[in-house]
Amino acid sequence: MPAITTSVFELFKIGPGPSSSHTIGPMKAGYNFNKTVADLEPAEQPDNIEVRLYGSLSATGKGHGTDRAVVAGLLGFRPDNVECDFLDSLADGKPQQFESGKISLPLSIKNVVYAEVENDFPYANTLLIRLRKGAEILFEQEYYSIGGGFIRWKDQLPEIQRTPPYKYSNMDELKSILAEEGIRMHQAILANETAISGISEDEVYEKLDVILDAMKQAVRNGLAAEGALPGPIGLHRKAKRLFDNSSQPNASDSFLIRLNAYGFAASEENAAGHIVVTAPTSGSAGVIPAAVYALEEDLGITREKIREGMLVCAALGFIAKHNASIAGAEVGCQGEIGVASAMAAGLIAYANGHRFWRTENAAESALEHHLGITCDPVGGYVQIPCIERNAMGVVRAYNSYLIASVENEKFHKVSFDEVVKAMAETGKDMNSKYKETSLGGLAVSVPNC
Structure confidence by residue, pLDDT tens digits, 310-333: 999 999 999 999 999 999 989 999
20-29, 215-224, 247-256: segment of lowest average pLDDT: 247-256
User: For position 19, what pLDDT does the model report?
Assistant: 85
Q: Is the pLDDT of residue 205 over 60?
A: yes
| Residue 296 pLDDT class (50, 70, 90 cuts) | very high
Residue, of 59 and 386, whose pLDDT is higher: 386
Per-residue pLDDT averaged across 224-240, rounded?
96
| Residue 43 pLDDT class (50, 70, 90 cuts) | confident
Q: Is the pLDDT of residue 291 over 60?
A: yes
Q: Is the pLDDT of residue 13 over 70?
A: yes
Domains along the chain with CATH numbers: 18-153 (3.30.1330.90), 171-445 (no CATH)
User: For position 161, what pLDDT does the model report?
Assistant: 67
Per-residue pLDDT averaged across 338-346, rounded?
98
Per-residue pLDDT averaged across 87-92, rounded?
90
Percent of the chain with pLDDT over 90: 82
154-168, 170-184, 199-213, 257-271: segment of lowest average pLDDT: 154-168
| Residue 132 pLDDT class (50, 70, 90 cuts) | very high
183: closest CA among 195, 170, 174, 172?
174
pLDDT in tens, 152-180: 999 888 777 678 999 999 999 999 999 99
Per-residue pLDDT averaged across 395-407, rounded?
97
Per-residue pLDDT averaged across 52-79, rounded?
92
User: For position 125, what pLDDT does the model report?
Assistant: 93
Residue, of 43 and 107, whose pLDDT is higher: 107
User: For position 416, what pLDDT does the model report?
Assistant: 98
| Residue 84 pLDDT class (50, 70, 90 cuts) | confident
194: closest CA among 186, 207, 203, 185?
203
Contact indicator for 360, 409 with CB cutoff of 8 Å: no
Q: Is the pLDDT of residue 448 over 70?
A: no
pLDDT in tens, 407-436: 998 899 999 999 999 999 999 999 999 998
Q: Is the pLDDT of residue 68 over 60?
A: yes
Neighbours of 301 (CB within 10 A): 19
Distance CA 26, CA 317 (A): 21
Q: Is the pLDDT of residue 25 over 80?
A: yes
Per-residue pLDDT averaged across 62-70, rounded?
90
Percent of the chain with pLDDT over 70: 99
Distance CA 421, CA 307 (A): 28
Q: Is the pLDDT of residue 253 over 60?
A: yes
Q: Is the pLDDT of residue 449 over 70?
A: no
| Residue 45 pLDDT class (50, 70, 90 cuts) | confident
Mean pLDDT of the chain: 94
Distance CA 44, CA 5 (A): 41
| Residue 88 pLDDT class (50, 70, 90 cuts) | confident
